[in-house]
């Protein structure tokens, strides 16, 4: 993103834009493997692609983008890969924060920071603080995030707060999740063709529209994002109801 001037899109306006898009950025490893490169090169290429997708979200009018960057299960990857992903998060903050902040991006985090190196935790907190008043696009980074872990954390906090059983509602549970205050995702995109939820936004995604494409994440460019948004615009969202209720 280079200038904060309004982006003029050559695409016609969409008939409906999802407010909140969430992405499982899958396929970095395969992208690298196909090129005879180490997996870390795939993650680097995936990070570069993130810049394009953030720009696309601003251009197409998305308000919130949640990205799955590191899951609670990813600790099981080889040590060097875990460290590479930590370095990438640090690099994104070091190198991109100024520009993201200037562009009006608000950075948030969902998940647990505790297990991350202290210096990285500080950087994440600083990035959140620096951008908290920005309103152009919320970029919510799921890092050391797991949907089940989030629900366990919420239940523990509810019990700790002494909330009686009869006061437990969906609204209350929402307010204890890492995503408290954010609307549920309207569209969840998964790249690289895998048909799995992988513990991502399992509560919040109850009525999300899913879009899966075979493109590997580093190749999921602006046109691919546009295609996903066009698919979404054509979906009929019924939220468990029917589109044309019986008159009888």
Interaction site with ligand FPP (CB under 6 A): 25-30, 39, 43, 46-47, 50, 69, 74, 85, 88-89, 92, 141, 143, 192, 217
Closest separation in Å from C-beta 217 to ligand FPP: 6
H or E element that contains 109 = strand 105-110
Closest separation in Å from C-beta 239 to ligand FPP: 30
Tell me whether residue 29 or residue 111 sits nearer to ligand FPP (CB atom): 29
Measure the CA–CA gap between 40 and 140, rounded to whole angstroms: 22
Whose CB is nearest to ligand FPP? Answer: 29
Tell me whether residue 83 or residue 156 sits nearer to ligand FPP (CB atom): 83
Contact assessment for residue 166 and residue 144, using Cβ atoms and an 8 Å cutoff: no
One DSSP character per residue, 193-207 reads: T----TTSSTTTTTT
Residues in the chain: 248
Catalytic pick from 28, 49, 74, 246? 74
Diameter of the chain measured on Cα atoms = 64
The region that residue 88 occupies, defined by phi over 0 for left and psi between -120 and 50 for alpha, beta otherwise, is: alpha
Closest separation in Å from C-beta 120 to ligand FPP: 10
Tell me whether residue 47 or residue 215 sits nearer to ligand FPP (CB atom): 47
Closest separation in Å from C-beta 50 to ligand FPP: 5
Please list the residues that pair with 187 across neighbouring strands: 21, 209
Tell me whether residue 123 or residue 154 sits nearer to ligand FPP (CB atom): 123
Tell me whether residue 27 or residue 185 sits nearer to ligand FPP (CB atom): 27
Please list the residues that pair with 189 across neighbouring strands: 23, 211
Residue 74 falls in the annotated catalytic set: yes
Terminal Cα distance for the chain, rounded: 55
Output the six-digit token pair for 161: 């707060």
Closest separation in Å from C-beta 132 to ligand FPP: 18
Contact assessment for residue 151 and residue 172, using Cβ atoms and an 8 Å cutoff: no
Catalytic residues: 26, 74
């Amino acid at each position: 993103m280079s200038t904060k001037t309004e982006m003029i899109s050559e695409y016609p306006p969409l008939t409906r834009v999802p407010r909140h898009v969430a992405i499982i950025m899958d396929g970095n490893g395969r992208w690298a493997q196909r090129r005879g490169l180490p997996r870390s090169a795939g993650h680097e290429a995936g990070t570069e692609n993130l810049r394009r997708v953030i720009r696309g979200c601003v251009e197409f009018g998305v308000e919130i983008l949640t990205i799955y960057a590191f899951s609670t299960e990813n600790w099981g990857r080889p040590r060097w890969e875990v460290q590479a992903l930590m370095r990438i998060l640090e690099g994104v903050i070091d190198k991109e924060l100024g520009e993201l902040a200037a562009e009006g991006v608000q950075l948030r985090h969902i998940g647990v920071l505790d297990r991350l190196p202290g210096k990285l935790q500080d950087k994440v907190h600083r990035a959140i603080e620096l951008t908290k008043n920005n309103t152009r696009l919320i970029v919510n980074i799921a890092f050391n995030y797991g949907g089940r872990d989030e629900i366990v954390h919420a239940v523990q906090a509810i019990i700790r707060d002494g909330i009686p059983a009869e006061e437990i509602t969906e609204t209350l549970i929402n307010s204890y999740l890492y995503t408290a205050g954010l609307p549920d995702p309207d569209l969840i995109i998964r790249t690289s063709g895998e048909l799995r939820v992988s513990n991502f936004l399992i509560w919040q995604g109850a009525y999300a529209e899913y879009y899966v494409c075979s493109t590997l994440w580093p190749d999921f460019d602006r046109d691919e994002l546009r295609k996903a948004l066009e698919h979404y615009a054509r979906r009929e969202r019924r939220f468990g109801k029917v589109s044309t209720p019986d008159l009888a």
